Structure 1
Amino acid sequence: MRILVVEDDDDLGDALLRQLRSDGHAVDWLRDGESADDVLRYQDYELVVLDIGLPGMSGSDLLQLMRARGTRTPVLMLTARSNIEDRVSALDIGADDYLAKPFDFRELYARCRALMRRSQGIATGTTTVGRLIFDRSAKAARIGDMQLSLPNREFRLLEIFIGNIGRALSKDQIAAQLFDFDDEAGDNAIELYVGRLRRKLGDALTIRTVRGAGYIAEEAEC
């Protein structure tokens, strides 16, 4: 999934960027509220990890602008302030969750996964489509008892298809979720990853090419 991190602390921002990318997510990192507001006006994300104490435009002000535009992207707020008033304020202006610094990265990742599942209307971390079992929490996929070997990007591509069963996705839509600003992603890259994924899935999940529209994932017929 594509995540935006807005954090002015270089050490923390770099750590979040590296860790989330190592987990296979496409991640963009910005250090101030104004830049983030500009990007959020044209780029969609599945999650925003937002520090409250930003230079210039605060995280709270940025969040209020997002919600005023009708943006429903889940937002996880980060702050060094942990009193109850700050938590209540963050939630009241539209934050979906709140995490006080310092925090354990395992908790942050768990909260990120929960917010993204919630935004997709998924109650648990496991989705079953026919014989295919997809486990987001364990970062694993299997067909029956056979575990699939999926590098990070193939796993995230499968996650995109699993979350859009029966819905046509253009290459641009897939690329917007799969790659970040630092990646060079053309149509050939999408075709390459889709081809690799198809071979590994076999007949467990059908990924059909739709002329002029992109791809559509469908449960395989028994």
Structure 2
Amino acid sequence: MLALAAPVGAYEAITVKDGGTVTGVVRFVGTPPTLSPIPVNKNRDVCGDQKPSEALLVGPDRGVRDTVVMIEGVTRGKKGTGDVIVDNRNCVFVGHVTAVVPGDRVRVRNLDPILHNTHGYLGQPTVFNLALPNKDQMIDITKRLGKPGVVRVLCDAHPHMFAWMLVHDSPYVAVTDAAGAFRIGDVPPGTYKVTMWHAGFRPKGNDKDGRPLYDEPRTVTKELTIAPKATATVEYELR
């Protein structure tokens, strides 16, 4: 579990002058494991019989989707203005991995005609536990995400459903796209630690509810210098 010490409220939004950009890619090295589909044990008329595992998504050029890259130690910088929505759609969470930063509005929505119960854990403690019985129902959880860290998101009604939400202490964070690429802009010039986080992907059996378990998250940290109005590039390997 990734531990982030500073409270979200410690970050100060300012106008960034001469900000730089960090770009890069996360690539898988070696042979990706074959991940079995996840059986559905409830509401199969809506959800289907099984869902593909999203624990490891590798593209044609070996780019890894849904990896989080964050710049550490930025206490003053650009304002976060995102609108983050985690959907229950076709009985999976969309997105599977999301990043939340100071200034974001965060909501959970049910797009299915069945009950979903979206339950978020920061370690062991519950940070939100939401019953969404109605299609198109949406609940704001912004105020429940005041502490940085990794939130594991489950559906108590459907054990095949799980996702991840990383709450960072600044807006300098990104989730890789289908090509494994990311971009973080308006970075105050300086030297920083830039950390890659992936939730883990090698199967480790199932929990008591039949939910698949995977190995521990992977983290890799590199030091990177960002010059004024310049672009710095960093690459990571997952294996």
Q: TM-score, normalised by structure 1?
A: 0.24
Between structures 1 and 2, the one with greater strand share: 2
Structure with bigger RCO (C-alpha 8 Å, 6+ apart): 2
